[in-house]
Amino acid sequence: MLRLDALSRRFGDTVAVSELSLEAEPGQILSLLGPSGCGKTTTLRMVAGFETPSSGRVWLDGRDVTRLGAQQRGMGMVFQNYALFPHLDVWENVAFGLLARGEARRDAAPRVERVLELVELPGYGKRRVQELSGGQQQRVALARALAPEPPVLLLDEPLSNLDAALRERTRTELRALLKRLGMTAIFVTHDQEEAFALSDRVALLHQGHLQQVGTPEALYTAPANPFVASFLGRANFLLATLDPAGSSHARLAGGAVWPVRTATDAPMQPGSAATVMVRPEALRLLPPGSELAPADLQGCLVDRRFAGAMSFYRVQVGDRELLVQGGPADAAPGDAVWVRPREGAVILVFPGDAS
């Protein structure tokens, strides 16, 4: 099991990673997700042993490896640009880790063949790495990292150099392969969709701080703070006042009353100012002539964007603009419209003006 304990990394005055504590269970795929500069790559490099933490510890299977160099840790790593050795052929690349620890070539050979079969490149041993396509190079990099059977596999944006169609297929295959091997993996990405598709758990980082860690569903449906809510998918934020009688309802600026759930552990005073977060798919536009309810919010339609299976509507409500998924096809810009939360929709409140 891999455990990070209050890991920090400072570069001069800037704090790249701050007091990060995380665990990766055996056989689990954990994503480090966040915008560029959030500290995810620095974290991965501290785990790999390329970067020395300013403070904190890295534990691997109960052993403190913080002071060990990369070569002693033996974590497998797949680099963003693959970092294949350009002067060696595919076989030599894949065998590198086995030969480095003193294995004889003929002992390494069957294992190299097996790993190449695993990544569906059997018989590619004699190819030069430059002759391979991007996708094939990516798989050689994976095979090279897997060959020495590392306890943990680290992947630094391994799919970002592939084109869109290939990327989607590769991530499905990659997840299947890692699951089949029961490999513990840490995967760095800035792409939310990729993190969701690949990982069992996602750790979202922002400005060096861990925002939230959990399953993709948990992060999407119960974001711990507005940053998590807006980074994962699309989110609308509206100013509101909590119901004086409790915190299960909030009154919006326009007078509509919505059922809400509190998102954070922070206690919220009944009657206090709050921010409501609602996702576009939790809202719909009412057809003209509908019977109105207390939850309905009046606004003015700015435009409609057709997106195949559904349409997106931008609605001006007071000084805010709401994104709404679904509504009548004949609504035209400039129309006065009503927005209603869908049945059972999750609407969260955060304390204060959090937008």
Partner 1 sequence: MNRRTLVLAAPVVLVLLWLVLYPNLFVLGDSFSEGGRFSLQHYRRFWTSRSEIGALWASVWISAASVVLSALLGVPLAFLFARYQFPGRRLLGALAAMPVLLPPLVGTISFLFLYGESGFFTRGVQLLLGLESPPWRLAGPGAILLVHAYTMYVYFYLFVAAGLSRLDAGYAEAATALGAGRWLTLRRITLPMLAPALGGAALLVFMTSMASFSAPYVFGGGFRVLSTQIYASKLNGEGGLVAVEAVVLAVASLLFLILLQRYEGARSYTGASKGLGPAPRSAVSRGWMLALGAGAAIAFLLLPHLTVLLVSFVPEGSWTTEFFPPVYSLESYRSLVSSPDRLVPVLNSLRMATVATLANIVFAFAAGYLLARRRFWGRGAVNALVVLPWALPGTVLAIALASTFAVHQPWAGQFVLIGSFAILPLAYFIRNIPLVTRAVLASFQQLDPAVEEAAASLGASRVNTLWRVVLPLVLPGLAAGALLAFVTALGEFVASILLYTHRTR
C-alpha to C-alpha distance for 150 and 312, rounded to whole angstroms:
46
**Terminal-residue alpha carbon distance, the chain:** 38
**Whether the Cβ atoms of residue 315 and residue 285 lie closer than 8 Å to each other:** yes
Nearer to partner 1, 103 or 281 (CB): 103
Question: Shortest Cβ distance from residue 97 to partner 1 (Å)?
Answer: 3
Nearer to partner 1, 147 or 297 (CB): 147
Nearer to partner 1, 80 or 230 (CB): 80
Nearer to partner 1, 48 or 213 (CB): 48
C-alpha to C-alpha distance for 73 and 61, rounded to whole angstroms:
11
The per-type count for the chain, helices as H runs and strands as E runs, is 9, 21
Positions touching partner 1 (CB under 8 A) are 48-50, 69-77, 79-81, 83-87, 96-97, 100-101, 144-145, 148, 154
**Looking at the chain, how many residues does it have?**
355
C-alpha to C-alpha distance for 219 and 130, rounded to whole angstroms:
40
Question: Shortest Cβ distance from residue 99 to partner 1 (Å)?
Answer: 9
Nearer to partner 1, 2 or 297 (CB): 2
What backbone torsions phi and psi does residue 282 show, to the nearest 5 degrees?
A: -90, 0
C-alpha to C-alpha distance for 159 and 318, rounded to whole angstroms:
42
Strand order, beta sheet including 29-33: 76-78, 152-156, 184-189, 29-33, 201-206, 209-214
Nearer to partner 1, 48 or 317 (CB): 48
Neighbours of 91 (CB within 10 A): 19
**Whether the Cβ atoms of residue 228 and residue 254 lie closer than 8 Å to each other:** no
Q: Which of 156, 142, 199 lies closest to 48 in space, CA to CA?
A: 156
Question: Shortest Cβ distance from residue 14 to partner 1 (Å)?
Answer: 15
Question: Shortest Cβ distance from residue 4 to partner 1 (Å)?
Answer: 18
Neighbours of 320 (CB within 10 A): 16
Nearer to partner 1, 48 or 203 (CB): 48
Question: Shortest Cβ distance from residue 165 to partner 1 (Å)?
Answer: 23
Nearer to partner 1, 97 or 208 (CB): 97
Question: Shortest Cβ distance from residue 38 to partner 1 (Å)?
Answer: 20
Q: Which of 323, 274, 275 lies closest to 303 in space, CA to CA?
A: 323
C-alpha to C-alpha distance for 288 and 296, rounded to whole angstroms:
13
Question: Shortest Cβ distance from residue 184 to partner 1 (Å)?
Answer: 15
Nearer to partner 1, 34 or 97 (CB): 97
Question: Shortest Cβ distance from residue 70 to partner 1 (Å)?
Answer: 4
Question: Shortest Cβ distance from residue 78 to partner 1 (Å)?
Answer: 9
**Helix 134-146 vs helix 164-181: crossing angle, to nearest 10:** 20
**Whether the Cβ atoms of residue 65 and residue 59 lie closer than 8 Å to each other:** yes
